């Protein structure tokens, strides 16, 4: 497949939103001499201007639901390394340095090593994939990710027959990540998948959103997206990948094992101990939007249910 330079509908929308906001800011006196005054809105614009366009091809599996706006996707985030408030990551991650970046690959594989970010994405065709994004806190979005199947990357490291799980780790750098100076979670953030989940073609190593490089607050330069699992499995700013024999511990499971399990499959029938998972609120729909029913495996049951054949999903939440 060859990369294309198609114009996507959301690019047109996001460009016109951008212009409208600029006009609004100019009228409101927030653009001074062509540059932007320091304000929360101005920060959004500069974040938008800093990220490069990516060459992509359409990926399989996209939902035809309307994606959330760039604004929703990049200002309402969970990235506790930059604070626990939803807007903290976009406020506090703007200066986060993501180049040069390398990833250490270790464990049960024939090609361990330290790989540069450029080596990692180099051979992969970048695909647009519009996925439902369901957070454990019962809100959701639709996100046009850019990435490539994680399995294609993992195969390059030649995992051996002992590799039953894959463990991922986020950067640990309290100088840059103010949230890591507090023990909100055990740092660095870690996540894990079974090898079958990691190799599933829906599982994405995302490097962009809306046809542009990932903004820092969304996990630059690369993060996981596993659309049938709750968003917390989508570990951001990955620096380590390890193939393991045993099921690895994961950050949220270690923090609150009764509330967050290893699997974290979206399941409307299995409630979080403190709230129902049967319905979800779509971000960006306005104050009076009704919650909508949550779908089993976030609507991806046809593709992934077989991965859990015979597994008790109540016990293995």
Q: Hey, how many other C-beta atoms are within 10 angstroms of the C-beta on 290?
A: 8
Place of tokens 């950067």: 171
Nearer to ligand MTE, 25 or 207 (CB): 207
Residue of the chain from 44, 56, 78, 92 that contacts ligand MTE (CB under 6 A): 78
Cβ of residue 18: shortest distance to ligand MTE, in angstroms?
20
User: In the stretch 156-185, what mask flags binding to ligand MTE with x, by CB under 6 A?
Assistant: --------------x---------------
CA distance 252 to 275: 17
CA distance 189 to 172: 8
Cβ of residue 209: shortest distance to ligand MTE, in angstroms?
8
Contact residues for 23 (Cβ-Cβ < 8 A; gap 6+): none
User: In the stretch 215-244, what mask flags binding to ligand MTE with x, by CB under 6 A?
Assistant: ---x------------xx-xxxx-------
- Classify strands 139-149 and 204-209 as parallel, antiparallel or unpaired: antiparallel
Tokens of 140: 């959701």
Window 107 to 146, contacts with ligand MTE (CB under 6 A): 133, 135
State yes or no: residue 262 binds ligand MTE (CB under 6 A). no
The residue with its CB nearest to ligand MTE is 231
Number of residues that bind ligand MTE (CB under 6 A): 16
Nearer to ligand MTE, 59 or 83 (CB): 83
CA distance 269 to 275: 12
Contact predicate 171/188, CB 8 Å: yes
User: In the stretch 13-52, what mask flags binding to ligand MTE with x, by CB under 6 A?
Assistant: ----------------------------------------
Closest to 39 in 3D by CA, of 50, 53, 54, 29: 29
Which residue stretch of 6-14, 78-86, 148-156, 262-270 sits at the interface with ligand MTE (rule: CB under 6 A)? Answer: 78-86
Cβ of residue 111: shortest distance to ligand MTE, in angstroms?
25
Closest to 43 in 3D by CA, of 19, 71, 68, 14: 71
Contact residues for 192 (Cβ-Cβ < 8 A; gap 6+): 165, 166, 167, 168, 244, 247, 248, 249, 250, 262
Q: Find residue 298's DSSP bridge partners.
A: none
Residue of the chain from 80, 187, 263, 317 that contacts ligand MTE (CB under 6 A): 80
Nearer to ligand MTE, 84 or 160 (CB): 84
Cβ of residue 317: shortest distance to ligand MTE, in angstroms?
16
Interacting residues toward ligand MTE by CB under 6 A: 77-81, 133, 135, 170, 189, 218, 231-232, 234-237
């Amino acid at each position: 497949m060859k990369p294309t330079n198609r114009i996507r509908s959301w690019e047109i929308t996001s460009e016109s939103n951008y212009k409208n906001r600029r006009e609004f800011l100019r009228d409101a006196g927030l653009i001074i001499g062509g540059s932007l005054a320091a304000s929360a809105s101005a920060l959004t614009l500069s974040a938008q201007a800093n990220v490069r366009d990516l060459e992509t091809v359409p990926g399989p599996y996209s939902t035809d639901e309307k994606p959330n706006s760039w604004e929703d996707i990049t200002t309402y985030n969970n990235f506790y390394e930059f604070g626990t408030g939803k807007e903290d990551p976009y406020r506090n991650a703007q200066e986060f340095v993501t180049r040069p970046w390398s990833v250490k690959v270790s464990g049960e594989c024939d090609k361990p090593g330290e790989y540069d970010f450029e080596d990692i994405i180099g051979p992969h065709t970048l695909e647009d994939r519009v996925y439902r994004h369901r957070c454990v806190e019962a809100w959701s979005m639709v996100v046009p990710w850019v990435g490539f199947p994680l399995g294609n990357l993992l195969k390059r490291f030649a995992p051996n027959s002992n590799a039953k799980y894959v463990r991922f780790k986020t950067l640990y750098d309290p100088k840059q990540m103010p949230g890591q100076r507090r023990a909100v979670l055990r740092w660095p953030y870690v996540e894990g998948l079974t090898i079958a989940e990691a190799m599933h073609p829906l599982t994405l190593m995302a490097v962009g959103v809306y046809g542009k490089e990932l903004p820092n607050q969304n996990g630059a330069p690369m993060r996981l997206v596993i659309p049938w699992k709750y968003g917390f499995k989508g570990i951001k700013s990955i620096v380590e990948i390890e193939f393991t024999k045993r099921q690895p511990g994961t950050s949220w499971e270690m923090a609150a094992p009764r509330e967050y399990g290893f699997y974290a499959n979206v399941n409307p029938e299995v409630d979080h101990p403190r709230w129902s998972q049967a319905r979800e609120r779509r971000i960006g729909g306005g104050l009076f939007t009704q919650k909508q029913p949550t779908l089993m495996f976030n609507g991806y049951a046809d593709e992934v249910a077989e991965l859990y054949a015979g597994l008790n999903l109540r016990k293995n939440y």
